[in-house]
Amino acid sequence: MPNPMANNSLDDALTGVTTYRTYNYRFLISTLYLVVAVINSVMWVCVSPIQTDLMKIYNLDLFTVNFGASLIYLVIYIPMSFVGNYIIDEKGLKVAIMIGAALTIIGLWVRTLCKDSFYFICLGQALGAIGAPCILNTPQKISASWYGPSGRALSTTLLSLGAPIGVGAGFFMSGFFVNKYDTIDQGLDQVFDLMWFTATRGTILLLPALFLMKEKPPTPPSAGAAKEKYSYKESLNQLSKNQNFLIFLGGVAFFWGTYSSLATIMNPLISPMGYESIVSGYYGGLVLVTGMTGSIIWGIYVGISKKYKRSLLTLASLSTSVLVVLLFVGPKGDAVLTGVWISLYGFFTTPMLPIIFELCCEITFPVAEANAGGLTYMMTQLMGIVGTLIANIFLGEKTVEGSLSAFKLLICMQSIGLIAMAFTKEDLRRTNYEQGGDDAAAKLSLQRLNDAEASENYNN
């Protein structure tokens, strides 16, 4: 008997069993998304490794440069995440990606006016940040809309690599453009070359997404995709009352917020220890390579085993342990040894993001994927801001002791996140629904009715 909750599916006329299929166009959709996510993240972070240079070139203090070049991205992302989630759910995936790509292109070209003022860099960063939620909040929605259950976890893994790849590439490329210079004018020329390079190449790579992106396939790839989701308003209401999700949200915010803070303050964090700006760029590249490797390995494992919580806690424990080791290794000034441990940090930390997205969708189903995942990512950015602002208090001293104090703060933040995630229940609602057939559909329908009644009573 076909699943009554499945819409627009392919019904086998002979057996009467509802079947689902995937379309090869999903690979193009994934490629287009990855390019957009990479370019937007490159835009955000490519100025982070050269913050000390920007201070000299524009004669500005650390806070102004740190906020205008990097932190502004996180600040704007938070309120715009609600707007982005609304666009994704109400206007659709295609419109959201097109808006995000268009704002990124405009922001990239605004930054090329950097010779006139540092604040054109700030404005460009702000435009990219406005469009970022329309991009970064969608990996789990693309996977749910285009991929079947067996390929969903790996798809989310690969799609979620867009942001880390962009972060790593941004760190890596900045050192090639802005390095040694004898005069302020030479330094300004190098900054302009970096902005021009990202604007021209970024525009070429982003244009296909404006024309080739599609909303969804002709028919859904799974029962979960066919299931009607809560509306935007209903989703927010249900998320606010899901205690398990709120515990998970807090843990992820603290843990992944540490990652965002490190990406933002890497250069001023290690400079007092004797590391040059170009070294922080190399470290970003190392995190990229090892993070991609770890993500693929863990993505395949989670896709097969569905052991979301076990995988998260294993990776989180190893990642935090590496940070503790770096607390003692970093001050020695050994760039190679420090690089080895930073590589391990990338290997253990980067794979966590797609697992976080997938578990988020599981424990909140049938809440719309962009709302659950978007809210989670937004909270990580908020905690990243908090961590960065507090760390900057210590980094303003420009001493090794100040850097170590900032690093200890980040370790504490990540440890709190690890503990909170350990208390999260692995409630795989989506998987149970897809495996449970009609019984699961009926139970979920009853649950939705109860949720609606509870919501009405709550509003009254």
User: In the block, which residue shows the tokens 């990229």?
Assistant: 288
* pLDDT for 266 beyond 80: no
Q: Give me the pLDDT at residue 6, please.
A: 39
* 3-class secondary structure per residue, 155-177: HHHHHHCHHHHHHHHHHHHHHHH
For the chain, the C-alpha Rg in angstroms (whole number) is: 22
Q: Give me the pLDDT at residue 216, please.
A: 87
The verdict on domain 23-459 having CATH code 1.20.1070.10 is no
* pLDDT for 3 beyond 70: no
Q: Give me the pLDDT at residue 334, please.
A: 82
**pLDDT tens profile 288-337:** 788 888 888 888 888 788 888 999 999 999 999 999 998 898 888 788 88
Mean pLDDT score, 151-155: 82
Least confident of 5-14, 159-168, 229-238: 5-14
Q: Give me the pLDDT at residue 17, please.
A: 54
The mean predicted confidence, pLDDT, of the chain is 83
- Tell me how far apart the alpha carbons of residues 370 and 89 are, in angstroms, rounded to a whole number: 7
**pLDDT tens profile 13-34:** 444 556 778 889 999 999 999 9
Q: Where are the domains of the chain?
A: 23-459
Q: Give me the pLDDT at residue 121, please.
A: 92
Q: Give me the pLDDT at residue 236, please.
A: 80
Q: What percent of the chain has pLDDT over 90?
A: 29
Q: Measuring CA to CA, which residue among 21, 20, 15, 25 is closest to residue 5?
A: 20
**pLDDT tens profile 274-292:** 777 677 767 877 877 888 8
**pLDDT tens profile 159-172:** 888 887 887 788 77
Mean pLDDT score, 383-402: 84
Q: Give me the pLDDT at residue 108, please.
A: 96
* pLDDT for 2 beyond 70: no
Does the pTM surpass 0.85? The reply is no
- Tell me how far apart the alpha carbons of residues 319 and 250 are, in angstroms, rounded to a whole number: 18
* pLDDT for 136 beyond 80: yes
Q: Give me the pLDDT at residue 95, please.
A: 93
CA distances from 395 to 8, 37, 240, 398, 405 (A): 56, 30, 36, 5, 8
Least confident of 209-218, 230-239, 374-383, 438-447: 438-447
* pLDDT for 369 beyond 60: yes
